[in-house]
Copies of this chain bind each other. A is one copy, B any other.
Amino acid sequence: MDARISALQKEAASRSDVIGLAGGLPADELMPKEDLGRALAYVATRRDEALQYGWPEGTRQLRGWIASRLARRNATIDPERIIITAGAQQALSIAAASLKHHAIETGDATYPGALDAFRGVGATIRAHGNPATGDARYVTAGVEMPRGVAVDCRHALAGSAPLIVDEAYAELRFDGTTPAPLIADAPDRVWHVGTISKTIAPGLRVGWLIPPSAHHDAALELKSAADLHTASICQAALSRLLTTTLDYDALVARARSAYAERADRMVTALRRHAPSLSFDEPAGGFSIWIETDDHRDEMEFLAHALDEGVMVDPGSLFRPDPAAQSGLAFRLSFSNAPIDRIDEGIARVVRALRPTTTATAAVAQAAGTR
């Protein structure tokens, strides 16, 4: 990430007066803190393996739970194929390293971490619309990132190219439906990526990768070379949580409902404060994606937003080719802002969007009333 963007985001995160619409963070209050705290304490004190070295593929118990959830979605996966990773990000970085001799087709805006992973291994990235034969593809299944629209991504199965399927938000569609996992249709070329970061807690850094069987051993070598294995304490606590006190389906249902309510607040606020802005109403996930015809400098806009007391994710982060971005774009996350601050957050974004001279006046005016 551009060091200037990073610096602004850190400043924003450190200021209690700033409304945070950046980052795609799950809501603090939806995480099962008490249950997790108990599970962590239990396994730390009662299970030697929770503090000890483990095997690179992760624990059998956690891999079994993942396989059982996929089975309920009609994908029969041998748990031996599953590799527990440090979040979906590490799954993407291992898939990227495995596929680095392919160009990877991503769409014209996608998850920034995937772009980082692909760039990190030196892969060529192609934007949507022109995948060449042999290109690999990356899709965010269920809920498309960053647009928040519902997709099943079955079109991506066309052809015979390798396909990285990122299910980070797949279970967070507001209508409660979850499309069938693509890995069931093309197990020999789908790299399936999942995580508990959006539902339980990202701070555990637990995700998973299911590579095609022919690539499993090489992918496992990459995992082992990367960090030996995913934190034993996190795997053990998660397993305990999932097999004792936590009803995961109920947790996901509560999350869907809570995020749908926040999404609705943000949609309403956008229509009120900026009726001319067009955007897709989110069908799931954490965010709304805005593209404008405004040609102002992105950093200038971010600085104005911070002056107004709000932070968003700049669109360039999501672009395979940031220089080709035609107009100002940004992502607004409703997921971890206090629900009663979303309207004010959007009002601040809209003030920051005003032409510069007006914005400066608005800053001066806002400063007087704070």
**A25 and B44 in contact, given A116-B225, A231-B231 (Cβ under 8 angstroms):** no
Q: Are A202 and B52 in contact (CB under 8 A)?
A: yes
Instruction: Name which of A87-95, A272-280, A347-355 contacts chain B.
Output: A87-95
CB of A264 closer than 8 Å to a CB of B: no
Q: In the complex, which of the residues B26, B116, B231 contacts A205, with contact meaning CB atoms closer than 8 Å?
A: B231
One complex includes copies of this chain to the number of: 2
| Of B41, B113, B224, the contact of A228 (CB 8 Å cutoff) | B113
Does any Cβ of B come within 8 Å of A53's Cβ? yes
Q: Is A51 an interface residue (CB 8 A)?
A: yes
Asked if residues B204 and A233 are in contact (CB atoms below 8 Å), the reply is: yes
Tell me how far the C-beta of A95 lies from the nearest C-beta in chain B, rounded to whole angstroms: 12
Contact of A231 among B36, B44, B53, B203 (CB under 8 A): B203
Contact with B along A42-77 (1 / 0, CB 8 A): 101100111111110000000000000000000000
Chain B neighbourhood of A51, CB < 8 A: 28, 31, 33, 36, 201-204
Does B86 contact A53, Cβ atoms closer than 8 Å?
A: no
B28 touches A48 (CB 8 A): yes
- Cβ-defined contact, A55 with B10, below 8 A: yes
Measured CA separation A113–B53 after assembly (Å): 13
A113: chain B residues at CB < 8 Å are 224-225, 228
**B227 engages A89 (CB within 8 Å):** yes
- Asked whether A231 lies within 8 Å of B204 as measured between CB atoms, the reply is yes
Q: A41-B40, A55-B10 are in contact. Are A226 and B120 (CB under 8 A)?
A: yes
Given that A23-B53, A221-B120 are contacting pairs, would A86 and B227 also be in contact in the complex, using a CB cutoff of 8 Å? Answer: yes
Taking a contact as CB atoms under 8 Å apart, the answer to whether A203 and B232 are in contact is yes
Alpha-carbon gap, A201 to B53, bound state (A): 8
In whole Å, how far is A135's beta carbon from the nearest beta carbon of chain B?
A: 20
For A89-133 the 0/1 string (1 means CB < 8 A from B) is: 110010000000000000000000100110110000000000000
- Write out the residue numbers on chain B whose beta carbons fall within 8 Å of the beta carbon of A93: 225-227
Tell me which residues across on chain B come within 8 A of A197, comparing CB atoms.
Answer: 53
Q: Name the residue of chain B whose CB is nearest to the CB of A94.
A: B226
Q: Is A214 an interface residue (CB 8 A)?
A: no
Interface of A is mostly: helix
**Cβ of B53 and Cβ of A90 under 8 Å apart?**
no
The answer to whether A37 and B41 touch (CB under 8 A), given A225-B93, A227-B93, is yes
Kindly state whether residue A217 has any CB partner on chain B within 8 Å: yes
| B-side contacts of A116, CB under 8 Å | 221, 224-225
In the complex, are the beta carbons of B28 and A53 less than 8 A apart? no
Say whether A359 faces chain B, with CB atoms less than 8 Å apart: no
The 8 Å CB contact of A37, one of B44, B85, B86, B90, is B44
Q: Which residues of the partner chain B approach A87 to less than 8 Å between Cβ atoms?
A: 227-228
Q: Which residues of B contact A324 (CB under 8 A)?
A: none
Q: B225 and A119: CB pair below 8 A?
A: yes
Q: Cβ of A231 and Cβ of B52 under 8 Å apart?
A: no
11 contacts between A and B (CB under 8 A): A3-B217, A10-B55, A23-B53, A36-B51, A87-B228, A89-B226, A113-B225, A120-B221, A204-B231, A205-B227, A233-B234
20 more CB-based (< 8 A) A-B contacts, given A89-B228, A205-B231, A227-B227: A28-B51, A37-B41, A37-B42, A40-B44, A51-B202, A51-B204, A86-B205, A86-B226, A87-B227, A89-B226, A90-B227, A113-B228, A119-B225, A120-B222, A202-B232, A203-B233, A204-B233, A205-B229, A231-B231, A233-B233
